[in-house]
């Protein structure tokens, strides 16, 4: 019994000693205040170092936030406090926008985990006045600092204007030598100069840092052009018609035109209207779009122009005799051309009489067509009276045997024959002084050539 009880006793003692050896470190750690399973390497020096590093980071963050805020004059009264990356803003600002801007700037600093914004609005008059003064001073300082760049930008624009004039002069000179079109010359010159000046303006704006303005100008050009196109459609239509009329040049200053139902002599072609002077001396302004779309009758392109008039003779008279007398007399009128020669036609034969139409040609540069026509009609009437060619008789009567040609008819009244002197057939220049004054007044805006009437054989140069 003693042996069987002794063996378990020794084994129990061994287990007890082993348990004491294992439990001793745990009991010692608990006594020192360290939880089981934690490292025993931590000491007070390391804890102090960690706290100091965190304090340095907070100070660096506070300095960074304060540096951002101090650059803004309206945020100089804002204070900054940082604790473990948490930024607290305090102080006063003049505007609500400044309060929000302070928080935005604080969040941009490195090491900021969150921001508590306790900034208050300062509504005192002195603070607002001081903020406005600081803002004005800041702008003035920026303007003074940018003065050299502004001077250089202005010099660039002036240089671009001068270079544009020099560049535009050469194509304009070439056009003047080859096309004789003053409007195209001015259009090319202004277009090239405007392009060079616009390039200089863009470079100047880019130099002073107004790149956003450059983009806005370039981006809004199309929209503005479209809006103006709709708003000023008629103006644009007249301007484009003026360009096309200047290119085609269907008339020149001084030409006599019939446009639509209007007649007059050309004063000038401007960018929006065609100016005429009627034969009564009145000024007439026609939109270029109307002129471009209308049928234009130009009496001055061909210097030769035909006139016509009619005469009635009695049905008992000889048509051949009247024709020979009239054409010979018309050919002798001053201003009537021999080629083409005067001609005639019988228009009608009725109970009222025989209507004869006579035609003749004049040179408008030497004679007035209306004066020549009047003189030709007077000459034909005179030769008919001298030759006894009677006009139509509306009342039947008996001619006495003693009646002689040219001495009238008894009971009817004495005849008054036409004199043999020649009438005035010179060019009518009644409105020439007024036309010249009007042309001088519009010389600066005239888009037509200042050319004179062409000489014989030079009509093709006008067309």
Assign residue 206 the CATH number of its domain.
Answer: 1.10.287
Mean pLDDT of 382-411: 67
Does residue 274 fall inside a structural domain?
A: yes
For residue 407, being part of any structural domain is answered with: no
- Give the Cβ contact number of residue 298 at 10 Å: 17
Domain-located, residue 278: yes
pLDDT at 250 over 80: yes
Tens of pLDDT, residues 290-342: 999 998 999 888 889 999 999 999 988 999 999 999 999 999 999 999 988 99
- Across 12-21, 363-372, 439-448, least confident range: 12-21
Tell me, yes or no, whether 34 lies in a domain: no
* 206 domain residue, yes or no: yes
User: Do 316 and 292 fall within a single domain?
Assistant: no
Query: Contact, 382 vs 326, CB < 8 A?
Result: no
Do 328 and 378 have their domain in common? yes
Contact 340, 300 (CB under 8 A): no
Same domain, residue pair 309 and 327: yes
Please identify which residue in the block is written with the tokens 């102090």: 48
> Structural domain of residue 186, as residue ranges?
147-231
Return the CATH number at 136. Answer: 3.30.1340.30
Give residue 283's Cα distance to chain centre. Answer: 28
Extract the tokens encoding 27.
Answer: 């009991």
Query: Over the stretch 178-237, which tens digit does the pLDDT of each residue have?
Result: 665 555 666 677 777 788 888 888 888 777 776 666 666 666 656 666 666 666 677 888
| Highest mean pLDDT of the ranges 65-74, 98-107, 270-279 | 270-279
Instruction: Name the domain boundary from 231, 261, 287.
Output: 231
User: Distance (Å, rounded) from C-alpha 78 to C-alpha 72?
Assistant: 10
Which tens digits make up the pLDDT trace of 203-216?
887 777 766 666 66
Does the residue 176 lie in any domain? yes
Contacts of 236 by beta carbon, 8 Å cutoff, 6+ apart: 228, 229
Indicate the angle between helix axes 147-178 and 125-145, nearest 10 degrees. Answer: 50
pTM of the model: 0.47
Boundary-marking domain end, from 231, 255, 286: 231
> Which residues does 31 contact at the CB level (< 8 Å), separation at least 6?
none
Backbone phi and psi for residue 17, each to the nearest 5 degrees, phi listed first:
-65, -40
CATH number, residue 254: 2.30.30.60
Tens digits of per-residue pLDDT, 258-294?
Answer: 998 899 999 988 888 999 999 888 999 999 999 999 9
Domain stops at, among 104, 125, 142: 142
Neighbouring C-alpha atoms within 13 Å toward the C-beta of 430: 10
Number of domains within the chain: 4
Residues 437 and 294 in one domain: yes
C-alpha R_g of the chain: 54
- Structure confidence at residue 320 (pLDDT): 92
Question: What CATH number has the domain bearing residue 337?
Answer: 3.30.70.100
Does 404 fall in a domain?
Answer: no
Residues 117 and 60 grouped into a single domain:
yes
Is 294 in the same domain as 308?
A: no
Distances (CA, A) of 10 to 22, 61, 64, 151: 19, 69, 74, 108
Whether 444 maps to a domain, the answer reads yes
């Amino acid at each position: 019994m003693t042996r069987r009880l002794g063996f378990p006793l020794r084994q129990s003692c061994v287990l007890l000693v082993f348990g004491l050896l294992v439990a001793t470190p745990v009991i010692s750690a608990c006594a020192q205040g360290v939880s089981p399973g934690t490292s025993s390497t931590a000491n007070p020096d390391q804890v102090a170092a960690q706290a100091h590093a965190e304090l340095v980071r907070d100070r660096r963050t506070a300095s960074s936030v304060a540096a951002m805020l101090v650059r803004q004059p309206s945020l100089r009264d804002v204070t900054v406090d940082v604790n473990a990356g948490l930024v607290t803003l305090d102080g006063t600002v003049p505007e609500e926008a400044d309060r929000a801007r302070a928080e935005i700037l604080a969040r941009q600093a490195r090491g900021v985990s969150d921001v508590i914004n306790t900034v208050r609005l300062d509504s005192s008059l002195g603070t607002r006045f001081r903020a406005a003064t600081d803002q004005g001073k800041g702008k003035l300082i920026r303007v003074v600092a940018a003065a050299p760049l502004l001077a250089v930008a202005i010099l660039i624009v002036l240089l671009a204007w001068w270079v544009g004039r020099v560049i535009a002069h050469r194509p304009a000179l070439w056009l003047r030598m080859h096309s004789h079109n003053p409007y195209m010359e001015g259009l090319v010159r202004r277009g090239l100069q405007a392009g060079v000046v616009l390039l200089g303006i863009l470079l100047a704006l880019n130099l002073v840092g107004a790149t956003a303005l450059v983009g806005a100008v370039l981006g809004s050009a199309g929209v503005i052009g479209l809006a103006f196109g709709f708003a000023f459609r008629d103006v644009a239509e007249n301007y484009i018609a003026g360009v096309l009329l200047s290119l085609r040049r269907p008339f020149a200053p001084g030409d006599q035109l019939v446009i639509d139902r209007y007649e007059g002599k050309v004063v000038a072609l401007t960018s929006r209207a065609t100016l005429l002077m009627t034969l009564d001396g009145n000024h007439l302004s026609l939109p270029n779009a109307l002129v471009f779309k209308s049928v234009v009758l130009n009496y001055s392109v061909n210097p030769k122009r035909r006139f016509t008039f009619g005469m009635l003779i009695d049905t008992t008279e000889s048509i051949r005799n009247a024709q020979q007398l009239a054409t010979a007399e018309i050919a002798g009128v001053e201003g009537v051309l021999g080629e083409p020669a005067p001609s005639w036609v019988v228009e009608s034969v009725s109970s009222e009489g025989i209507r004869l139409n006579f035609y003749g040609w004049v040179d408008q540069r030497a004679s007035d067509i209306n004066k020549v026509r009047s003189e030709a009609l007077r000459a034909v009437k005179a030769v008919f009276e001298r030759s006894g060619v009677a006009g139509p008789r509306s009342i039947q009567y008996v001619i006495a045997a003693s009646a002689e040609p040219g001495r009238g008819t008894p009971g009817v009244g004495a005849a008054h024959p036409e004199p043999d002197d020649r009438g005035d057939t010179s060019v009518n220049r009644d409105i020439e002084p007024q036309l010249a004054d009007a042309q001088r007044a519009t010389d600066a805006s005239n888009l037509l050539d200042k050319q004179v009437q062409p000489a014989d054989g030079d009509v093709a140069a006008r067309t």
